Every structure is written in C-alpha cells, then in structure tokens.
A and B are shown apart, each in its own frame.
Chain A
Amino acid sequence: MDYILRRILYAIPIALGVTVIVFSLVYMGPVDPLTAVTPDDAEPHVIEMIKKQYGFDKPIPVQYLIWLKRALMGDFGVSLQSNRPVIEEVIPALRKTMMLAMVATGLAFSVAFVLGVLAAYHNGTWMDRIFTGTAVIGVSVPNYWLSIVLVVIFAVELNWLPAVGMGPRGSGEWEWDLVHIRYLILPVIAVSAIPVGIITRTTRACVLEMLSQEFVPALHSKGITSVRVLVHVVRNAAPTVLAATGIQFGHLLGGSILVETVFVWPGTGYLLNESIFRRDFPVLQGTIAVLAIFFVLINLIVDIVQTWLDPRIKRG
C-alpha cells in the first residue's frame, strides 16, 4: 500500500514536467503562436487586442501558470478552427484511439504470448527462428508503410475491407456490429505489428530465463505435469510480459498519428495531424497534454500491477 502511494507521489512531478514540455511546445515550433491566431492583414490595434485576449502580453511563466490552472480544470481553451472547447474535440477522439489501442493491444498480446512461449519452448529450432523473425519484422516495418500496403492489398486490390473511416457514410455512431467492425480490422493490424514484435520478444526472453531456473527441474522432480509446469513458468514471466504489454498500450495511444491519418480514423492521432497543419495550437496542446497524462497514468498502473503480481517486490 505504502509502495503504491509512493509510486503515485512520484508520478505527480513527472506529470507536471510533462505539462511544462507540452506548454513550451508551442514556443518551440517554427511558427509564433501569435501569428497563428492573427489574420495576415490584421491592424496593429487588433494584434494588441488578440495578444491581450490570449495572454501573450504576460511573461511566459505566468502564461504557463494560467494555462496549467485552466488545464487542471479540463479547460484547454478553444479550438481556433472550430471555435469549440478543445476538450470537446479531444475526448471523443481519445475514445476512438482508445478503442483502436485496446483492440490492438488485446490482439497483439494474445498472438505474441503464444508465439513467445512457443519460441522459448522450441528454442533454437526452425519454429523459434520463424517466430523470432516475424517479431523482428513486426518491429522494424514502419506502420504507416504497412497501413498503405494493407489498404492497397485488402481494400483496393481485393476489395474485401473498407480503406478509410469508421463506418459506412451516414451510419452514425460506432456500434459493435459486423458493418462497423470491418472498418476496424486494417487499422488494428497496422498498429499491432510493433506490439506483437516487442511482446513476442519479451515473452520469449522471459520464458527462456524462467526455463533455466532451478525451480523448473524441481517441479519436474515432484512429478508435476508439463502443463502445470508451464503454468508456473508463465506465472513467473507474467509481471514482465504484462509490463511490456502495458507500455505498448501507452505507445499506441500516442503513436498512431500516421496510421490514423492513412485510415482517416478520427482519433487523437488524426486530431494531432490536423491541428498541426491548421496551426491550431490550443488543440495541439490539449491533445498532447491529455495523451501525456494518460501515458503517465498507464505507466503508474503497470507499476502497480507488477508489484501486485510479483511478491518479491517489496511492498513496504
């Protein structure tokens, strides 16, 4: 309990650091945010007015504190593009990215876990080589390239699956039916490739390490069946494999910009891409801040789960 509390306390400065970076992003970009919000032909007194309105006349640390105070209440300002509150754009987008990330993580974990365990149990055989090779390819193929290849093959050439969007035109909200799930398949495969590769390799390495531990022959010496021994091995590997999976989930939340753009999947990645092109810096800040906080949160959860699964990590 104490340990968990400490982890949470550690997470706070990290989260604060993240907000500083997110806030400064706008000033590190090639475009002055003031220029972004003012029309090219604005008169000087209009520019002054806008400056005041956005607080650009104040020192940057003060601007940060004002921004942070609002951000903590969920107020990231208003989109320059749509004039709607940023949070109202970020939350629905986050839900869509979450959905993609969850399905992809679930799929990646299931596939990778089986591949990793089989590779470890058949260490050095052709099976190990094929699975390990698959993992290496999964990690090294750029996922936007994979997205395009998938679209070309399955949407354009074979015409089996839709290429873009989250549902047929005019079909309204997402539903878990066959009509909609078809739209999920290609993006999920595209974003799963890297997690499959990484989780396979982690599982293989971890199971191999467990198989070399003395407790494995010791279990055999008690007459425990091979299947039950596998359960012991997997249970020992679980904290590490689940941690790797959790971290991959975190990466998927933030890292699917190009894939979401290729598939026109209206998630946070798509939103980020749009806001960059439209110089919509409040949306950019808001999206990155929300994603970053989620990333910190996921890492925290991974830590806690790992502690809970491994009795050797001191809880005191």
Chain B
Amino acid sequence: MEAAESTQTLATGDGDLVRVSDLRVRFVTKETTVYAVNGVDFSLAPGEVLGILGESGSGKTVTLRALIRLLPEDRAQVSGRVLVGDNDMLRLPKGDLQSVRGRTIAMIFQEPMTALDPVYTVGYQIAETIVRHESCSWREAEARALDLFEQVQVPSPKQRLKSYPHELSGGLRQRAMIALALSCRPGVLLADEPTTALDATVQIQILLLLRELQKEMGVIFVTHDMGVAGEIADRLAIMYAGRLVETGPVTQVMREPLHPYTKGLLSSTVHGSMRGQRLQTIEGSPPNLEELPDACSFAPRCPHVREACREAVPEPVQAAPERMARCILVNPA
C-alpha cells in the first residue's frame, strides 16, 4: 500500500511519460479501408496536460484507444510505436498489457452511462479494479473506493458507492468514472471528451476537479471544444484527418496559430466566452477517410491553398523550439 500512495514514477528513455512515433491506424473491412490515424508523433512530459483538439471524426478517439491497445483486433491495423514508461504498448504480451492497463495508464470515457457496467454498483467496479492490481483484500479495496469518492467530491460517498450507474446524475457518474480511472494511481490518464455529455456548469466542476487531481500525473485530454482545451491543457495538439497539423504550448497556439486550420478554428471563437463553442464554422466538410491522398488533407478547405499543397503531404515544420505545424506556408525557425 505504501508504494501505491503516490502516482507511479514512469519514464521513457528521454524522461517523457509517453512517446508516440509514427502511429498509424486503419480499419480494414471487406467493403472499405478507413485511414483513421496517419502518422502521429507526440510525447507527454510528467505532470503535463496535452489537449488533443479536432473536429468530430478527425481520429482523436482512435488515437487514444490505440495508446491503450483497445481497438478491435480483427479490424484495426495499428503500426508505429507507443511507449508508456518503458512499456512498448503495441508489442506487449497480453498478460503484461493487462497489468499495465488500469495501473500505469487509465482511461476516462466520454459517456460514463455506457462505460460503466449497468448491473454492478459503482463501488463494486472500483473495488474490482483495485483488487485486480494490488494485493489487497476486498474490504481494503472498498475502503480505498470510499477515499476515492471523497477525493472526487461525491456527496454522501458511502451511500453513493452502493448505487448503480443509472441511479446517479450525469455529473456524479463522471466523477465515479474518474474515481475508477484514478483507483490505482496511474501515471498517465487518457480522457476522451470527458465533459462533452455534461451541461456547462457541471463541465466546469469536472474540469476543475481534474486539474486539482492531476498534479504529477500526465494527462492526454481529447476534446472538440476550444474553450475546454484552453481551460485544461498545457500544450495543444490540433488534429485533422488523422494527423497532428499543429502542436505547441496552449497560450502560444491560441494567441498566434500557425496552421490555417487552427486559425479557422480560432477565428470562429470569441475570446473570453470560448467554452461551448463547437468547431463547425470552417467552410467545407472534413475529408473522406476512405482514401489517403498524397496531399495536404486540409487543402480543399484552405483559404491559402497553393499548387504545392496538392502534390505532397506537408512535412512538419519546426517554427519555434516548441512549436510545430504541418503547412508549407509556415517558416522554420
């Protein structure tokens, strides 16, 4: 129990918690192939919150699930490299993978109503995870579950532990989900639009809670809400058609976006009241992912499009020490 009191210390070779290189995912069925993720690179430092931002269908969920190897094995072809600490996630044997999941890296789902098992109490589900990973009795695990419920500020936690998911409000369900994800004090937390299903006030409460609990934990936070991203993230990664088109510190990206897509996202957002703004105000629609053209995916919608944009996929340009954009219009530092 002692060792588990603090978040696990993890590091890849370079001192990062997570390092993703050239991650690619395609879904192959008899009828079609969907190129969902097409070469994604990023890393996550200890204590950092990385916000992945992008329109619906841009591949955020698939990226997140690939990190914890949760994609359907029969359909999803995943390549590249994902390091979580020193675990090579895509090549880990099944048994090791099961020990890493939930303990080293955990996930908060978008819809806690469906992500929690409806026929078990939330307390049971938390205790189950604790017992799975730590050598402790069921009773100790239940005591821990109570601590966790207090931490995530569930009112009358003792009774609520005995509730079934459908008996809780949306906000409480998401708190239960967070408690569940944090139950073994993972080093890395993946959060897939954890506040999208909630109303505005509850959203803020959950974001504040996550910020408070996060401390030394690394968090990858997926959202399609500019305001939410600005609120929670240290660094932003903008995703379009399965690629990261821009990455950088949150204030810099928001103040001075480099990629035309990021600019488009921001121009539609009035500063100060960004929360709740959906990212659908750019002309045109996202590309069809059933083909993977040798061109910038944003070219058909881009106001600054050139001939060269349609000839090759733009290489990442290092515009400043911590800033990257995949656009031929961006000047290297």
Q: Which of A's residues lie within 8 Å of B, judged by CB? A: 213-215, 217-225, 228, 232, 235-236, 309-312
Contact of B68 among A215, A221, A232, A310 (CB under 8 A): A221
A228 contacts across to B, CB distance below 8 A: 128, 132
Q: Are A221 and B107 in contact (CB under 8 A)?
A: yes
In whole Å, how far is A209's beta carbon from the nearest beta carbon of chain B? 12
Contact of B129 among A214, A215, A222 (CB under 8 A): A222
Q: Are B132 and A224 in contact (CB under 8 A)?
A: yes
Q: Are B101 and A223 in contact (CB under 8 A)?
A: yes
Q: Are B99 and A236 in contact (CB under 8 A)?
A: no
Q: Mark B205-225, 1 if CB is under 8 A from A, else 0.
A: 000000000000000000000
Which of B20-28, B116-124, B249-257 forms contacts with chain A?
Answer: B116-124
B70 contacts across to A, CB distance below 8 A: 217, 220-221
B99 contacts across to A, CB distance below 8 A: 223
Q: Are A236 and B65 in contact (CB under 8 A)?
A: no
Q: Are B129 and A311 in contact (CB under 8 A)?
A: no
Contact of A222 among B65, B106, B114, B119 (CB under 8 A): B106
Chain B interface size, under 10 / 10 to 19 / 20 to 34 / 35 or more: 20 to 34
Q: Are B180 and A222 in contact (CB under 8 A)?
A: yes
| Known contacts A222-B132, A225-B132, A214 near B119 by CB under 8 Å | no
With the chains together, A312 CA to B166 CA distance in Å?
A: 7
Q: Are A311 and B180 in contact (CB under 8 A)?
A: no
Closest to B100 in A: A223
Q: Are A311 and B119 in contact (CB under 8 A)?
A: yes
Q: Are B129 and A224 in contact (CB under 8 A)?
A: yes
B133 contacts across to A, CB distance below 8 A: 223
B88 at the binding interface (Cβ < 8 Å): no
Known: A220-B70, A223-B99, A311-B164. 15 other contacts (CB 8 A): A213-B114, A215-B116, A218-B107, A222-B101, A222-B102, A222-B132, A223-B100, A223-B102, A223-B103, A225-B98, A235-B119, A236-B118, A309-B119, A312-B119, A312-B166
A214 contacts across to B, CB distance below 8 A: 109, 111, 114-115
Closest to B70 in A: A217
With the chains together, A311 CA to B115 CA distance in Å?
A: 16
Closest to A220 in B: B70
10 cross-chain CB contacts under 8 A: A215-B118, A217-B70, A218-B116, A222-B102, A223-B101, A223-B102, A223-B103, A236-B117, A311-B164, A312-B118
With the chains together, A223 CA to B131 CA distance in Å?
A: 11
Q: Mark B76-102, 1 if CB is under 8 A from A, else 0.
A: 000000000000000000000011111
In whole Å, how far is A181's beta carbon from the nearest beta carbon of chain B? 37
Closest to A235 in B: B119
Contact of A215 among B98, B107, B117 (CB under 8 A): B117
Contact of A224 among B102, B116, B164 (CB under 8 A): B102
Closest to B72 in A: A217
B111 contacts across to A, CB distance below 8 A: 214
Q: Are B132 and A215 in contact (CB under 8 A)?
A: no
